[in-house]
Amino acid sequence: MPTNEFPSRLIDADPVPEGVEPFQQTDLDGVAVELFQLGDVIVALCEDDSLFSLEIAGVVLDGQVLPANLLGTGSTEEGRAFCSIYVQHTLYSGRSPRDLDFIWATCMEPDAE
């Protein structure tokens, strides 16, 4: 269940420039993920290294899927998965990015044997 209120940024890592605050936080299988907006780019960054991959598979506003392009996925030096997508902000003009819902594709880190 996404929430728009949380005490502070969970992490301080690339690819989000310092000073950019998250607009939303969500929980995916017990892993906190923060969302940041940088112009027309939305970046999702997970709290820890328990996700092997993280991808936003879709963006929804009021039940309609918005056109979006995946820009890339990866992980930080600390092993935190992230992804970035392009969503033209004029598609939700007059609305907050907090109004967006996201469809996720994730893969948990495989158990080490």
- Predicted TM-score (pTM) of the model is 0.79
Model pLDDT for residues 61-111, shown as the tens digit of each residue: 999 999 999 999 888 878 788 999 999 999 999 999 999 999 998 776 655
Higher pLDDT, 10 or 48: 48
For residue 27, give every residue at least 6 positions away whose Cβ sits within 8 Å of its Cβ, in sequence order, or none.
1, 33
Residue whose token pair is 């996700």? 51
Give the closest residue to 1 by CA, choosing from 42, 30, 23: 30
Average pLDDT, the chain: 82
- CA distances 52 to 47, 59, 105, Å, are 12, 21, 11
Distance of CA 8 to the CA centre of its chain: 16
pLDDT on residue 111: 56
pLDDT at 21 over 70: yes
Report the pLDDT value the prediction gives residue 69, as an integer from 0 to 100: 96
